[in-house]
Amino acid sequence: MARKVEKVTAKVGDATLQRRGTISFPTKYKKWQQECRNLGPSKIGGKVTLLAWLKKHGKPSSKPSRRNSPNTGLSGMSVTMGVIEGIISKRSNGIYFEEDVEAFEDILDDLEEYDNGGSLDPAMIPFTTFPTRDGKVIPDAEPTTIYGHYIDEYFEAKGWGGKGPTADAAREWLSETAGEANPPIKQAIFGGKLFAESLKDIVETAIKEINALGYILEVKTGRSPVALVNVPSFRSKLAGAVRSSLVDGNISVRQVQSKMNGVPFKIEGDKEKAFVAAYSKTQGVAGEFEAFEVNMSPANTKKVIETWMGTSRGVKERDIVKSWVDIVRV
């Protein structure tokens, strides 16, 4: 069965953009959110879902044990998720901009801070525990510190487990060495057994998908299209249209107009993209501008022909006449 092609058309500036390419990262992000929401206390411990944990990441804590944390709430997963959700909401028409790619690249830089052994690294969160023997707490034993998660043999020995995961199930979530554990919150960000796709994977997908988009622009503007004569594909097509639209030795504007309107003109290179983007007021759209189409009036078509004739070598001056329909329209 043939794969269904997603068609996206949206108005930007003075152009209607027809998008080629698939964007899957918003759906992936929503799925990831739901997976985080489904991981509640019975599966990962604590009192809230993993999604709620993530929204608190990086914010100041009122707990005495976190009193000295340098986290201010100006960074962390709560901020990261807000940026992602803002982009998805703002680009509901399916057209993404270069500033969105830059924002996602900044997020990748931020994620590195969540894995570098600093205060935002979930594997650095300390918990106090005590040694056990045969499932019982050793009397008068000195406390030790574990990192990443708190459910261990001591937690079970105290009978605090309840309906949550066992110490055996939570073993890889904690470590006696700071920075080595892979707790659920870190798995959500970077991957692990709890997730088929991490947030980092989704952000990398977003960058790749946006940069791979292609567009055909249907330019609709009252501005003179004369400048488009400098675009090679437009100029070449115009030359052919003029030469094949001779009526009794004169050029029919009407015929040239019909041969130029609605025809895709290929855009090649960054200079041509920048030129067409400026002309159509679509600067900043991310991806490739593959082609553009115009919708010229008879008057603008006449101006384009005159410009082409005036800038083309070997073209003899001719009287440019219009059919009676063109005369009425102009």
165-179 pLDDT per residue, tens = 999 999 999 999 999
Instruction: Note the pLDDT of residue 59.
Output: 76
Measured on CA atoms in the order 202, 207, 209, 215, is the torsion positive or negative? positive
Instruction: Note the pLDDT of residue 130.
Output: 95
Q: Is the pLDDT of residue 187 over 80?
A: yes
Residue 57: pLDDT band (50, 70, 90) is: very high
195-248 pLDDT per residue, tens = 999 999 999 999 999 999 999 999 987 788 899 998 999 999 999 999 999 888
Q: What is the identity of the amino acid at 177? A: T
Residue 3: pLDDT band (50, 70, 90) is: very low
Q: Is 291 helix (H, G, I), strand (E, B) or coil?
A: strand
Instruction: Note the pLDDT of residue 278.
Output: 94
Residue 161: pLDDT band (50, 70, 90) is: low
Alpha-carbon span 282 to 16, nearest angstrom: 10
Instruction: Note the pLDDT of residue 275.
Output: 94
Top-confidence residue, 78 or 66 = 78
Q: Could you give the C-alpha distances from 150 to 98, 123, 160, in angstroms and in order?
A: 42, 11, 11
Q: Could you give the C-alpha distances from 303 to 182, 221, 248, in angstroms and in order?
A: 67, 15, 21
Alpha-carbon span 151 to 166, nearest angstrom: 7
Instruction: Note the pLDDT of residue 176.
Output: 95
**Which whole number is the average pLDDT over 110-115?**
94
301-314 pLDDT per residue, tens = 999 999 999 887 65
Q: Is the pLDDT of residue 321 over 80?
A: no
Instruction: Note the pLDDT of residue 6.
Output: 65
Top-confidence residue, 35 or 325 = 35
Instruction: Note the pLDDT of residue 232.
Output: 94
Top-confidence residue, 108 or 64 = 108
Alpha-carbon span 39 to 202, nearest angstrom: 19
**Which whole number is the average pLDDT over 87-110?**
97
Instruction: Note the pLDDT of residue 96.
Output: 98
- For the CA atoms of the chain, what is the radius of gyration? 31
What are the extents of the domains in the chain?
Answer: 22-211, 214-329
Instruction: Note the pLDDT of residue 60.
Output: 63
Q: Is the pLDDT of residue 277 over 70?
A: yes
